[in-house]
């Protein structure tokens, strides 16, 4: 039911979710920015078929304990996260440690680097953005980078670069066209204008 609810929320709230890049086989630490409500959903979308996990604040996990059934862990459960990585299951974390306004990255905490080092697994940066463009609903974009060294500065620089790529494409791509080289990961809501256009095409009006 929770899986259905999350996917339905994404499909009805967004015009679509688009992705560029891919995740490696086996365990890894996924480090992403946290600038919108949908970021946790994006993580779930990426790791749901791999029995993945997301580290969230203790307060959020206490408020929404059912998140555990979806693989959520408290940020205090570091040893558990390392054991899960050793068992072959990916773990995601928000290095900023909090939800921040959409824009530049905030100061990073060491959790992502520490986990990747201790478990000896790849550290993967991924940038998330939600843009209001030329459709009735916003669009979600996921820009996955290549593995980076376990260095906090390198991770922050690479994640900022991935975010800057998305911001540049937002400024330079036609508002009703998907960003170049991005693939549709999850289709979403179609606005009234699109429905009218499809109706006209179907009946040749």
Is the dihedral angle over the CA atoms 25, 6, 187, 133 positive or is it negative? negative
Question: What does the DSSP assignment read for 124-150?
Answer: EEEEEEEE--SSSS-EEEEEE---B-S
Q: Are 43 and 54 in contact (CB under 8 A)?
A: yes
Enter the tokens of residue 46: 């990426």
Q: Residue 195 above 80 pLDDT?
A: no
What order of strands is seen across the sheet that includes strand 91-93?
A: 72-74, 53-56, 91-93, 29-32, 123-131, 139-144, 16-20, 183-187
Query: Which of 119-133, 169-183, 189-203 shows the lowest per-residue confidence on average (mean pLDDT)?
Result: 189-203
**Residue 145 has what pLDDT?**
98
CB atoms inside a 10 Å sphere around CB 178: 17
Percentage, residues of the chain above pLDDT 90 = 80
Q: What was the pLDDT predicted at 204?
A: 62
Q: What is the pLDDT of residue 139?
A: 98
Q: Does position 205 have pLDDT exceeding 80, yes or no? A: no
pLDDT tens digits for 85-95? 999 999 999 99
Which of the two residues, 41 and 191, has the higher pLDDT score?
41
pLDDT at 124: 98
The residue to which tokens 């843009």 are assigned? 131
Beta bridge pairs of residue 142: 19, 128
Share of the chain above pLDDT 70, in %: 94
Give how far the C-alpha of residue 156 lies from the chain's centroid of Cα atoms, to the nearest Å. 16
Q: By C-alpha distance, which of 84, 86, 109 is closest to 34?
A: 109
Task: Give the per-residue pLDDT at 201.
Answer: 64
Q: Tell me the pLDDT band of 117, cut-offs 50, 70 and 90.
A: very high
What is the model's pLDDT at position 197?
63
Q: What is the pLDDT of residues 134-164, one digit of tens each?
A: 999 999 999 999 999 999 999 999 999 999 9
As a whole number, the mean pLDDT across the chain is: 93
Model confidence pLDDT, tens digit, residues 45-73? 999 888 899 999 999 899 888 889 889 99
Q: Is 92 helix (H, G, I), strand (E, B) or coil?
A: strand
């Amino acid at each position: 039911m929770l899986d259905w609810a999350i996917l339905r929320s994404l499909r009805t709230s967004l015009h679509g979710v688009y992705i560029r890049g891919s995740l490696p086989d086996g365990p890894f630490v996924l480090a992403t920015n946290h600038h919108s409500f949908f970021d946790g959903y994006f993580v779930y979308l990426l790791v749901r078929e791999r029995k993945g996990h997301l580290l969230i604040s203790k307060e959020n996990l206490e408020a929404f304990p059912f998140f555990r059934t979806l693989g959520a862990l408290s940020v205090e459960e570091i040893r558990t996260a390392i054991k899960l990585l050793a068992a072959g299951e990916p773990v995601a974390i928000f290095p900023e440690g909090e939800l921040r306004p959409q824009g530049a990255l905030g100061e990073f905490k060491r959790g992502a680097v520490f986990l990747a080092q201790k478990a000896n697994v790849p550290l993967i940066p991924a940038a998330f953005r939600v843009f209001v463009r030329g459709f009735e609903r916003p669009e979600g974009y996921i820009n996955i980078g290549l593995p980076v060294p376990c260095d906090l500065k390198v991770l922050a620089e690479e994640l900022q670069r991935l975010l800057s790529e998305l911001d540049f494409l937002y400024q330079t791509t036609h508002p009703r066209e998907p960003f170049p080289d991005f693939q549709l990961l999850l289709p979403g809501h179609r606005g009234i204008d699109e429905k009218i256009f499809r109706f006209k095409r179907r009946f040749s009006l």
